[in-house]
């Protein structure tokens, strides 16, 4: 079997991308003649990638969004966002130390995100983080995406990890539901992008800082999920 593995969501989990995603969303809404949104609105729309974010923003305004207009706006969103990577995006406090901690303990690390694979890799490269990850899998890497559990399990497989020694780390209901459906314990950070507190979605553990994501926590969650002694 493969090595133990920690799989991270990206936006709102590893990296605070909200300023840039919000700017690109508002650029897109401007182009469509819709009203801009703020950080509170953004938190309701994020989680399934830019296309869904635009759709939810239009739904919130009770505005029609024909398919051809949706396609046009999504292309504008991608163009604007891609032209500004990394923008003001930055890793959350403690991320680098946590990645170092698990890598030193011989854990594999991977990313499973509903951001496109291209933008995920570009962002992580620009922030000097890409070298930590055995796999960086976006919404278009496979034929499925979160909350389909296969997005997570195929990420683990691509990274050569062991699904029975895996932990997911995310910031949203999407991440939590994905991990639960895959039978993998999930740690939820409470500083990410969700309009409801992550504890409402019953993750395995809630943390408020990456310092709390310890080797002992990962081992105990794996042991509790798969009924094996801690190693």
- Give me the sign of the Cα torsion angle 160, 162, 165, 168: positive
Q: Which residues contact 36 (CB under 8 A, 6 or more apart)?
A: 26, 29, 30
Strand segments, DSSP code E, in the chain are 3-8, 15-16, 90-91, 108-112, 135-137, 161-170, 186-189, 205-207
Q: Which residues are catalytic?
A: 9
Burial degree of 168 (CB within 10 A; 0-12, 13-18, 19+):
buried
- Beta-bridged to residue 15, according to DSSP, are 11, 91
Residue 108's SS3 state is strand
The owner of tokens 């990206």 is 10
- Greatest alpha-carbon span in the chain: 58
């Amino acid at each position: 079997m493969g090595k133990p593995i920690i799989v991270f969501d990206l936006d709102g989990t590893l990296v605070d991308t909200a300023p840039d995603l919000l700017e690109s969303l508002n650029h897109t809404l401007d182009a469509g003649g819709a009203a801009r949104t703020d950080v509170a609105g953004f938190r309701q729309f994020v989680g399934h990638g830019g296309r869904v974010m635009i759709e939810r923003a239009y739904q919130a305004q009770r505005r029609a969004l024909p398919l051809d207009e949706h396609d046009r706006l999504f292309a504008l969103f991608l163009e604007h966002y891609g032209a500004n990577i990394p923008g003001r995006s930055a890793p959350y406090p403690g991320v680098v130390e946590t990645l170092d901690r698990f890598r030193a303990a011989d854990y594999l690390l991977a990313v499973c995100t509903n951001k496109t694979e291209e933008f995920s890799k570009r962002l992580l490269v620009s922030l000097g983080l890409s070298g930590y990850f055995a796999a960086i899998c976006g919404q278009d890497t496979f034929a499925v995406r979160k909350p389909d559990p296969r997005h997570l399990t195929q990420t683990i497989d691509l990274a050569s990890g062991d699904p029975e020694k895996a932990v997911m780390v995310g910031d949203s209901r999407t991440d939590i539901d994905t991990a639960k459906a895959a039978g993998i314990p999930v740690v939820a950070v409470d500083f990410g992008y969700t309009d409801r507190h992550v504890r409402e979605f019953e993750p395995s553990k809630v943390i408020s800082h990456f310092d709390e994501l310890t080797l002992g926590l990962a081992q105990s969650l794996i042991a509790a999920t798969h009924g094996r002694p801690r190693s």
